[in-house]
A and B are shown apart, each in its own frame.
Chain A
Amino acid sequence: MAAITLRIQRFDPDRDVAPYFRDYEVPLTRGLTVLDALLYVKEKIDGSLTLRYSCRMAICGSCGMLINDVPRLACHTQVRGLETDIIEVKPLPSYPIVKDLLTDFDSFFEKHRSIMPYTIREDIEELETPEREYIQKHDEILETYHQFTACIMCGMCWSACPVSSTDDEYLGPQALTQSFRYIADSRDEALAGRINVVDTLHGCWSCHFAGSCSHVCPKGVDPALAIQLLKRRVLSYNLGLKKTKEVAPIAPPLKEEEAKKIAPKPPQRTIKKQMN
């Protein structure tokens, strides 16, 4: 059976002075992902290998790591697709290493929290106890912010960004993209507050438009585009060209007959009733 060499960067801050590489032989099977190979090493060769993973289907964004010098999700990377016999796996750069391939995301999540990643309405009572939905046009969602909602917070854009590698205070592509996502969302009414957060020295103006964030995103989100759109929105707001935005109205209450019409009918029986 063919095999590949997995070259893994190991580092235990309690024991090691500096990171080092260790090679492991892993049998190559059809459909083998880098995560599968790492778990093979952990289960069969070296149980002390530390990594983070969860869903195994590129949804949770936990297993981001540097595979052959490119930030990728380990569960979403086919070993055969890499077209090499030696696969080098390192932790994501720009994050502090906890152990081996496990990195500390505290600062990343803190930045995400700072942009207020939730809908804010002026009517607090309505926000706390919503009774009806907001009316949004389908095209408006698709054209403005739909792709930016696909972010899974895997943090790979942040590790690929050349600004983040030197500037720890920089909000980063993920947080800035999410800020734009809420600014563009017509359900949100906190435009001024959101602009104040990103219109800073380490906010959207620090972006050099290298575009590496968009290149590595496993979900096809384009953070570089979002940041440029955000810059345009901040400028138009501060120049007084677009101080307000169209806010989605709340749907009017339905009349009883209308509600009955809209309400879905129960599914048809698939098992016949037993007749005695």
Chain B
Amino acid sequence: MKESTLWIIDIVALSMLAVTLGIHLYPHSSVVSGLGISEALKHESVLVRAKDPLYLITYTVFLGSILYHSMYRLKSMISEVYPDKRFEKMIAYLCLAVGLTFFVYGFYINLIAYLR
């Protein structure tokens, strides 16, 4: 894949991150949601949110966006600090594998909480 394509996906992921992070922080704001941070972080209210399909979708998008952004930037940083053409592909696939593993695991936790 061309570097510009990866870069565009990163920009899209960053935009999605801004939106989903806003949704994630929404219950914590006492002014907007009326809950307050201590109420929002209670186990019961977390479980209530986890059963909401909107949260399942937004958390999945949030997870995907943050993992793509972090792994893409990590790959770029490694290739900048240790620029070696022999390891370029290996580093890229390693970052992809780590990102996918975390995504699958995170999505699994998200889904279990939703179905419980």
Contacts and interface: CB of A to CB of B under 8 A. Distances in A.
A235 B8 contact: yes
Interface string A166-177: 111110000000
Nearest to B8: A235
B85 A169 contact: yes
Interface stretch (A37-45, A56-64, A137-145, A200-208): A200-208
Contacts of A203: 3
B4 A201 contact: no
B46 to A, nearest CB: 38
A168 B83 CA distance: 7
A163 B81 CA distance: 9
Contact of B2 (A169, A206, A238): A238
Given A169-B85, A199-B2, A238-B2, A205 B7 contact: yes
Chain B interface helix/strand/loop/mixed: helix
B4 A167 contact: no
A20 B14 CA distance: 47
B80 A170 contact: yes
Interface residues of B, number: 13
A202 B85 CA distance: 10
A234 interface: yes
Nearest to A162: B80
Could you say which interface size class chain A belongs to?
10 to 19
B5 interface: yes
Interface string B63-82: 00000000000001001110
Contacts of B2: 199, 238
A183 to B, nearest CB: 14
B4 A238 contact: yes
Given A201-B88, A235-B8, A167 B79 contact: yes
Contacts of A169: 83, 85
B63 to A, nearest CB: 25
A201 B5 contact: no
Contact of A199 (B3, B76, B79, B80): B3
Nearest to B81: A166
Nearest to B80: A167
Contacts of A234: 4
Contacts of B85: 169
Contact of A206 (B5, B8, B76, B88): B76
A199 B4 contact: yes
Given A234-B4, A235-B8, A238-B4, A201 B81 contact: no
Interface in B82-109: 83, 85, 88
Contact of A163 (B3, B4, B5, B80): B80
Interface string A152-172: 000000000001001111100
Interface string A188-216: 00000000000111110110000000000
Contacts of A166: 80-81, 83
Closest 9 CB pairs of A and B: A169-B83, A167-B80, A167-B83, A238-B4, A205-B3, A199-B4, A234-B4, A166-B81, A205-B7
Interface of A: 163, 166-170, 199-203, 205-206, 234-235, 238-239
Interface of B: 2-5, 7-8, 76, 79-81, 83, 85, 88
Given A202-B79, A206-B76, A238-B8, 15 more contacts: A166-B81, A166-B83, A167-B80, A167-B83, A168-B83, A169-B83, A199-B2, A199-B3, A201-B3, A201-B79, A201-B88, A205-B3, A205-B7, A234-B4, A238-B4
